[in-house]
Amino acid sequence: MRKLVIASNNPGKLREIAAILSPLAIEVVAQGALGVAEAEEPHCTFVENALTKARHASRATGLPALADDSGVCVHALGGEPGVHSARYADEGHATCREEQDQRNNDKLLRALTGAADRSAHYCCVIVLVRRADDPQPLIAEAEWHGEILARPRGAGGFGYDPLFLIPALGKTGAELSSQEKNRVSHRGQALSVLVARLQAEMQAWT
């Protein structure tokens, strides 16, 4: 495997994924750079959406593809926004990713007005397909537990990171350095598992 297409156009995700995959010495390219449009995400589970996106990118490019589907699950809201996290406040008015993130965060805070339980977790499912019809894709998943603050803190990260407090660290996801976040986040944990499995597979090929 010399090149891997990432089935995402989210710049924050792309940075995190590329950093964690760097030890594999595989060329990583975003699907947008290859003219691949984003796939539909019609499913109600993270794993189905991730698999759909990975197969779509692989089919369009003829390359192995990796996709992530992730979101924040708030316990007081019955697990919402969950798989709808990226478009939670999708009113068709956002002009950029940062504006969409702000709208999503504002909607989440409104939904939690008066809630005593603000516990939540991020969930991430990573899928890698070697080809579009791969019958045995590599799948890894992880959770990152914390709670939702009443107001944002920090200028880093993306998505719901400014609201997501990790009590053990006393910091939000947006207050962590990229290196810290990649070590402890849902995506960092899932990617670490996938990298280990992929390294073992690549060694078996040699």
Residues classed as catalytic:
69
- Between vectors from CA 81 to CA 76 and to CA 84, what angle results, nearest 5°? 165
Give the DSSP per-residue string, 111-165: HTTT-S--EEEEEEEEEEESSTT-SS-EEEEEEEEEEE-SS---SSS-TTGGGEE
H helical segments located in the chain? 11-21, 46-61, 97-111, 178-184, 186-205
* Cα distance from N-terminal residue to C-terminal residue, the chain: 12
Radius of gyration of the chain (CA): 17
